[in-house]
Chain A
Amino acid sequence: MTWERVRKAADKLTTPLLPDDYLTLLNPLWSSRELRGRVEKVIPETEDAATLVIRPGWGWKYQHRPGQFVGIGVQVGGKYQWRSYSVSSPPVKSGRTLAITVRAMPEGMLSEHLVRGLQPGTIVRLATPAGDFVLPDPPPAKSLFLVGGSGITPVMSMLRTLDRRRTMGDVTLHYSSTTPERMIFRAELLEMHERHPGLVLHEQHTDTDGIFSWDGLDHLVPDWRERETWACGPAPMLDAVERHWEAADLSDSLHIERFSLAFTGDGGEGGTISFQNSSKSIEADGATTVLEAGEQAGVGMPYGCRVGICHTCTVTKISGTVRDLRNGAEFDQPNEQVQTCVTVPVGPCVLNI
């Protein structure tokens, strides 16, 4: 009998709960009901960035591909807030922990909390690794990484993998940051360069050197056209890189990771609501509730009281923002349960129905 089958049989003892619901009384990681992890260490990297070393609980497969991100849910003020961060540790099958590196953003409530307020021992929720900004296996013979600020984190996972597997090859890293002190992983990168002469590191300290002009790339990396390229950083930088590669007709060899969401622009109320499972969508103004809009679109929306009492109409919002008409509260988290009868869309949103 396998462990899984033992747990399945134990269901009969704990129904309607799962055995895991009782096992978490003994160890909070002994549950695969929701992926979870315990923060083991918070390692300061620069004055505003820290690496969180997390020990995942049951059900976690150490199989992220270098460059992917994970979702992390942290309880702040009693409420789980979710964000995605690149995994900075290399994938190790026998590993016990994974690491994410976070920079506290101005006005970023959660990143601020993760860097400065998180105590070791805290239990967090995790979501499976995702993203296609990844390093292929085997890696290309010649590669180029273009990094701005905390965009280094997915790239670090790739470089560490290359280092671990001794497949570094011919790698150029162009790393922009305001000052050397704010460069996350600077010491480790320099040390990695010592061991692998094939790894060339260009530092761009934008406070003193100014922002890198991509026209200078021919001079800095003459063979950039032959290199498979990964770029991660702030949106203006990525836009410039994208244009530069497009102009050279090399978009195919460029991989881009945008870690900041593009805002919809107008910020006004109303928007297009897409119903994922029924592949319908409808334009709704700021006074039409999500429920009414769904009904107009011909979606079989669940509903009950229609005044926000009974929670029958609750549906998972996959993305986008809705506003509660009763108090103006905005719900902008991905995969959030929303009461459709009292909320209106704020910009485009996608519902799981």
Chain B
Amino acid sequence: MAIADVAQYAHLTDDEVEQLGREFDAIRTEIEESRGAKDAAYINRVITAQRWLAAGGRIGMIASSPLDKKLRRPALVASTVALGLAKILENMEIGHNVMHGQWDWMNDPEIHSSTWEWDTGQPAEQWKHSHNYIHHQFTNVLGYDNDIGYGVLRMAREQKWSPANLGQPVYNALLAGLFQWGVALHDLDLEAIRKGKKDPKEMKRQLKQIAKKGRNQILKDYIVYPALSGKEWRGTMRANATANLMRNVWSYLIIFCGHFPDGALHFTEDELTDESRAEWYLRQILGTANFEGGPLLHLMSGNLGYQIEHHLYPDLPSNRYAEIAPRVKALCDKYGIPYTTGPLHRQYGQVLRVITKLSLPNRMTKDDKPPTGVDVTVDSGRKPDQQRQVRRTELGGWSRSAS
């Protein structure tokens, strides 16, 4: 089922939708005005801890290499875990959020969306386009949001089935294990390449950028650090591969739990027509799912367990999502809007079910996403505004930095 008009779906009048928009704006204003020294100290603390973890892991691997086997093994395991956690923290709570501009208000060029480069295969510039713009603006709109299945998985019943989809459970496992490289290719827009719609010049530029970033990442993890470990180079190489795998699987898991559990809805292109800011808020809530957990789980997942809050306010500091969440939930209750959440294992279980079911044609499976049935899909009935500025569809080039 896909929604063409969120306001109509949510049974709200235009006035109610506008009122709701104002209430969400009020929360944003309040948080913006209360950002201060405590928030700045938080992100600096997380960055410092992450860098100590990373340095500790790297140095631990090298320092433990001359030791005898009995001591080396536990040291190597501890170093691997430290490095894996450092990579997770860097990608989730630091890189992703800094690149969203959550910390731009500090006016610190070292912690700024325009300068941050993260520890993964994808160049920051391409991520900011494919994620901040495409995914956050067109969240869950079929044909626009490439995060619906990343161009490899069929994640919505509206997407056409092909026999290749039978392999989905396998593709899924591969995507989880190699997630950083899947993300690295994300802004290329595999769908557009398949359809021959991609500008070849732009593709070449992006590929070059990816190759340069990827080369440095591989060199660091699989050549330079192993070389520094002398004859124990194999151990370091394995440790680095394990740390990367930890990060890949974890970030895959968190990201898939944000939009594919039951209750996160998809939308058709019609929804984008004349969508107001308030309706955009509504779509973010309906298209997104939270998961529950303690403070440590939220930290390690970049506070994306508060995915709904993150989608409403992608550029507010992540450490404030926890305090916003009850207020967002109260607003949802007040207006009768579903607020999807659940424990992490249940959310991921639903994701797996979707992936498996949709590997088969629609007629062989039933839709689990509530509410089910074709009759729920409504047409907006509004004409497209011809005066509206043409929506840009090309990828990447326009966000190129001056260099």
A-to-B contact residues, CB < 8 Å: 12-13, 15-17, 21-22, 25, 33-34, 73, 75, 77-82, 277, 300, 302-307, 309-312, 314, 326-327, 329, 333, 336-337
Contact = CB atoms under 8 A, between A and B. Distances in A.
A312 B113 CA distance: 9
A304 B51 contact: no
Contact of B107 (A15, A25, A79, A307): A79
B391 to A, nearest CB: 10
B39 interface: yes
Interface of B: 25, 28-29, 32-33, 35-41, 48, 51-52, 55, 58, 100-101, 104-110, 112-114, 117-119, 128-129, 132-133, 136-137, 213, 216-217, 219-220, 224-225, 277, 280, 314-315, 389, 398-399, 402
Nearest to A336: B107
A306 B136 CA distance: 12
Nearest to A331: B107
A312 B40 contact: no
A309 B315 contact: yes
A34 B108 CA distance: 10
Contact of A304 (B132, B216, B277): B132
A300 B402 CA distance: 12
A310 B129 CA distance: 9
B105 A25 contact: no
A336 B41 CA distance: 21
A312 B114 contact: no
Those 9 A-B pairs whose CB atoms lie nearest each other, nearest first: A78-B40, A311-B101, A304-B133, A16-B117, A310-B132, A80-B107, A305-B137, A15-B216, A78-B37
B217 A15 contact: yes
* Chain B binding surface SS class: helix
21 contacts: A12-B216, A12-B220, A13-B224, A25-B48, A25-B51, A33-B110, A34-B109, A78-B105, A80-B106, A80-B108, A305-B137, A307-B277, A310-B128, A310-B314, A311-B101, A311-B128, A311-B315, A312-B133, A314-B113, A326-B28, A337-B104
A327 B118 contact: no
A286 B51 CA distance: 45
Contacts of A81: 107
Nearest to B52: A25
Contacts of B52: 25
Contact of B219 (A12, A78, A314): A12
A314 B38 contact: no
Contacts of A22: 51, 55
Nearest to A337: B104
B399 A305 contact: no
Given A12-B224, A15-B217, A79-B106, 8 more contacts: A13-B58, A13-B224, A17-B117, A34-B110, A81-B107, A307-B277, A312-B132, A326-B28
Given A79-B40, A80-B107, A310 B280 contact: no
A312 B119 contact: no
A304 B100 CA distance: 13
Contacts of A277: 402
Contacts of A79: 40, 105-107
A79 B314 CA distance: 20
Nearest to B400: A302
A313 to B, nearest CB: 10
B48 to A, nearest CB: 7
